[in-house]
Structure formats: structure tokens, C-alpha cells
């Protein structure tokens, strides 16, 4: 899994860098983001790292003293990416960098995120040992989704959280035919259907009544949204399954991928979801625990 060397405080400069070239991706629309990106860049430079900024981050913060790289450039040249923002920022860049195998560390500027778990306040103490190899690594599975119309693939996308098929603001339900590995499951009348990874099980799927899946579980969760039949319940499936959802009836259906990419659907369209060949590499400080994150994020045991 990871290297778990005991450490307190900043790593000594004599310890060799594990990551010599580091990219920073920032949520540049947020107040104070320019300051945060600049402060982290200065810290990395002081630690002996070569620093680059993702192209849009560079353009929108005006920090042009650092090399600007597009996503393929980061994938080719950098050994680590720091994502400064929230889970949405991580979802956006994570899908793009996963195919390059570049590990990511999430630094949140506000509320704790499920996958951006290093707080900006005190980031130096946590980040310094990680740059020298003291971290815990996990891999998050991803989905490869495609939309098929009249036997042709008309849309493709990758999802780290979920694939959501739903109606777009009209009063009536939609009807979906669901198959798993070629086997008919059911025709479902509902507001929609969520297919989520373990990472996405704490997002929209959770609010729709689905279970939380530990990231180590090799599975997906399939959750109906406001189903017409109350016995239509969430189902946990193997991540090796192929899920197909066909639009049978209903108006203005659409498919969302991580709630960041959208495509409209027509009657007869089939949305096919398979496991992506790529995984997201996330790095955490030594001692990180998934359950610590759940407890803090979901406010468990408050007042206990």
C-alpha cells in the first residue's frame, strides 16, 4: 500500500525528494485561491521541487513566473499533482490525469472533502514528508461510459463518482430498461438511476438512499432516484459487471457524468457503463483513515 515511516514536523532537507517536479492545479474562481496557489508554489520551491502550474490555473491567477503546462504536459513531465480546491476540482482533473498514472494530493481551502483531505492550514507539516516518500497511497476505480444510438457510439465519458441517467425538469417519470452483463434486471419507472463507484457512493447516491461503499470494495452501487415502485431498492454489483440502461419512455432524459459532463438522450438510446482501465492514484498523509474522513465530513458523534 504505502510507506508508513513515523514522522513529526518538517522533513529534513537531506532526505531525498520522491517528487522532484510537481504541478499545481487550483480552483482559481474561489476567493483567496491565487494566494493559496502562490504560497504552495513557494513552499515547493523551497523544498527543492521544480514547480509548474496547470495552464488555466496559470492564466487565471496571473502567476506567470512558473512554467504553465496543459494536462498532457503535466502527465508527461510531472511526478505529482497538487489539487488546491474541493472535491469538484479533484473530480475534474482526476479524470484527465488518471490515464497518465500521475498521483494526486488534494489540498482543501475550506470544508473537508472526501478526496481533498489535506487542509490548507498547516499544509507544510503534512506535505513536506509526503514529498520525500512518506505517504499512504490508494487507487480509486473509475467508470468508462458510452451512449449508443442506432448501433453507433455517439458519446463517451469517464466518471470517478457516478453516471446518472435522469429526467430534465419535467413532471413525468422516465422508464428505463436495465441490464447487467446482458441479463435483463427490470424496467424501472423513476426520476432516474445512479450508477456510482465507491468514491461516488458518498455523493448523489448517498442522498438518494444508497449505501456507502468502502473504497477498497471492488464494486458499484446502482441506486434508483424516487422510484415508482417502493420495492425497487439499491443494488451493489461487481465492478467487473457491464451495466446497460435503455431509455424506454419519458421526456427530456439526460446522462450526467460526475455532474460535470452532460449529454441529452433520445428514446432507444443505451448507456453502457464498464470499469475503466485507469484508476485514480490518491496520496494521503501517513496515518490517514477513511473513517476519520467520514466521521468529520458527516458530523458523526457530534455532542457525544
Exactly one of 38, 87, 117, 162 is catalytic; which is it? 87
**273: CB partners within 8 A, 6+ apart:** 143, 144, 145, 163, 195, 220, 242, 243, 244, 245
163 backbone φψ class: left, alpha, beta (φ>0; ψ -120 to 50): beta
Q: Is 87 an annotated catalytic residue?
A: yes
294: phi then psi, degrees, rounded to nearest 5: -60, -45
Q: 164 to each of 131, 208, 214, how far by Cα in Å? A: 37, 12, 20
Angle at Cα 192 formed by Cα 191 and Cα 198, nearest 5°? 135
Distance CA 80, CA 280 (A): 12
Which position has the grid cell 452483463?
A: 181
Distance CA 257, CA 164 (A): 7
Which position has the grid cell 466518471?
A: 159
Distance CA 63, CA 66 (A): 7
Which residues are marked as active site? 87
Amino acid at each position: 500500500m504505502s510507506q508508513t515511516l513515523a514522522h513529526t514536523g518538517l522533513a529534513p532537507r537531506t532526505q531525498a525528494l520522491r517528487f522532484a517536479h510537481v504541478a499545481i492545479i487550483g480552483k482559481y474562481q474561489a476567493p483567496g485561491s491565487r494566494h493559496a496557489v502562490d504560497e504552495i508554489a513557494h513552499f515547493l520551491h523551497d523544498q527543492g521541487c521544480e514547480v509548474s502550474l496547470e495552464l488555466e490555473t496559470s492564466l487565471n491567477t496571473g502567476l506567470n513566473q512558473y512554467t504553465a503546462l496543459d494536462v498532457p504536459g503535466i502527465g508527461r513531465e510531472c511526478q505529482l499533482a497538487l489539487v488546491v480546491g474541493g472535491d469538484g476540482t479533484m473530480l475534474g482533473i482526476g479524470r484527465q490525469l488518471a490515464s497518465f498514472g500521475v498521483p494526486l494530493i488534494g489540498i482543501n481551502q475550506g470544508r473537508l472533502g472526501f478526496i481533498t483531505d489535506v487542509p490548507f492550514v498547516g499544509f507544510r507539516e503534512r506535505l513536506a514528508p509526503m514529498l520525500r516518500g512518506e505517504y499512504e497511497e490508494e487507487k480509486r476505480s473509475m467508470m468508462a461510459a458510452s451512449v449508443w444510438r442506432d448501433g453507433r457510439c455517439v458519446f463517451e465519458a469517464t466518471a470517478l463518482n457516478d453516471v446518472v441517467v435522469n429526467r430534465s425538469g419535467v413532471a413525468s417519470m422516465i422508464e428505463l430498461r436495465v441490464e447487467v452483463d446482458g441479463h435483463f434486471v427490470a424496467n424501472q419507472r423513476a426520476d432516474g438511476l445512479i450508477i456510482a463507484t465507491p468514491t461516488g457512493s458518498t455523493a448523489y447516491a448517498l442522498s438518494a438512499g444508497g449505501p456507502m461503499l468502502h473504497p477498497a470494495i471492488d464494486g458499484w452501487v446502482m441506486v434508483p432516484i424516487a422510484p415508482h415502485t417502493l420495492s425497487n431498492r439499491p443494488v451493489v454489483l461487481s465492478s467487473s459487471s457491464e451495466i446497460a440502461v435503455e431509455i424506454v419512455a419519458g421526456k427530456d432524459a439526460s446522462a450526467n457524468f460526475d455532474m460535470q459532463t452532460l449529454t441529452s438522450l433520445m428514446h432507444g438510446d443505451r448507456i453502457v457503463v464498464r470499469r475503466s482501465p485507469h484508476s485514480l492514484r490518491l496520496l494521503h498523509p501517513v496515518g490517514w483513515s477513511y473513517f476519520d474522513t467520514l466521521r468529520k465530513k458527516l458530523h458523526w458523534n457530534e455532542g457525544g
